[in-house]
Structure 1
Amino acid sequence: MNTAIEDDSTLTDRYQTTVPASIRRALKLKCRDRLHYTVRPNGEVVLSRAGDEPSQDPVVAGFLAFLERDLQAHPENIRPATTSTFAEAERLTSGIEVDLDETLPVDDDDA
């Protein structure tokens, strides 16, 4: 990018915004790509494409470490996923619809 690209967007009541098309094109962003924000001491914000590695959630990391220890200590509890396992999962989740684009409910603590 040889020339500076500047654009504006509006913050919604949920503190969300749409990344302007000019910025999406410049960063080659696609749906579900991650963004990285850097706030400099002077208040300037730098928006960039996030790396491929998502930041590690300490709760998830702890849970995965627990699972690893448990599986190593008790390998006899490991069972293969079978056709009936998947059939049971489908039965348990039948009728549940998920809309990944659905608006999130308002959080009381964000107000």
Structure 2
Amino acid sequence: MTIMQAVARKNTKPIDVLESQITSRGQTTIPASVLRTLNLKKGVDRIQYQVLPSGDVLIPRKQKKENDPIIGKFLDFLASDIVKNPQNLQALPESLLYRIDNITESVDIGNLDAPLSDDED
């Protein structure tokens, strides 16, 4: 069996090696010192298991996806402006639509609802 190492985010040195028992259901309790080190809140945060080629397992805190505040504010501005000034909305000229179709006709956009793979982030 390999040693599991809990590694704090942005810290390359492992903390003390700690143990916890695996239950018959394959569950374990994360030691309190690991929860504190990773600043994990029970019932809120998540962890990941990263299996290394050596067989060791790193258990980092799962990073929360953060929305880009600038994009969010810009989209809010656009939505507000559309509501306040609908008279400013204009259809694209037909010639531009044809040009867009010609430029993009060989582009495969795939499934826009599918999650991105790691190499597409």
Normalised by the size of structure 2, how large is the TM-score? Answer: 0.40
Q: Whose relative contact order is higher, 1 or 2, with alpha carbons under 8 Å and at least 6 apart? A: 2
Higher Rg = 2
The structure with more strand, counted as a fraction of residues:
1
